Structure 1
Amino acid sequence: MTDKTATIYHNSRCSTSRKALQLLREHGYAPHIVEYLKTPLTRQQLAALIAAAGLEVREAVRTKEPLYAELDLADASDEVLLDTIAEHPILLNRPFVVTEKGTMLARPLEALQAIL
Structure 2
Amino acid sequence: MITIYHNPRCSKSREGLAYLEDKKVEVDVIKYLDEPISKETLKHLIALLNIKPIELVRTKEAEWADYKNQQLSDDAIIEAMVKHPKLIERPIVVNGNKAVIARPFSKIEDIL
Question: Does TM, normalized by the shorter one, top 0.5?
Answer: yes
TM-score by length of 2: 0.91
Structure 2 stretches lacking a partner, 5+ long: none
Equivalent positions of 1:74-113 (< 5 A) are: 74=69, 75-100=71-96, 102-113=98-109
Distance 2:20 2:87 in 1: 24
Give the aligned partner of residue 115 of structure 1. 111
TM-score by length of 1: 0.89
Rate the CA distance shift 1:99–1:41 in 2: closer, same or farther, 3 A: same
Distance 2:96 2:38 in 1: 22
Alignment match of 2:62 (pick from 42, 66, 72): 66
8 Å Cα contact 2:5/2:92 also seen in 1:
yes
Cα distance per residue 1:18-76 (max 9 Å; x no partner): 0000111111212100000001111111010111111110110111111111x123432
What is the SS of the residue equivalent to 2:3?
strand
Distance 1:41 1:88 in 2: 10
Distance 2:97 2:44 in 1: 16
Shift of residue 102 of structure 1? 1.6
> Which stretch of the first structure deviates more once superposed, 79-88 or 92-101?
92-101
Question: How many residue pairs end up in the alignment?
Answer: 111
Kindly, what percent of the aligned residue pairs are identical?
A: 36
Distance 1:18 1:61 in 2: 19
Alignment match of 1:27 (pick from 23, 27, 31): 23
Distance 1:52 1:99 in 2: 10
Rate the CA distance shift 1:100–1:45 in 2: closer, same or farther, 3 A: closer
Q: Give 4+ residue runs of structure 1 displaced > 6 Å after superposition.
A: none
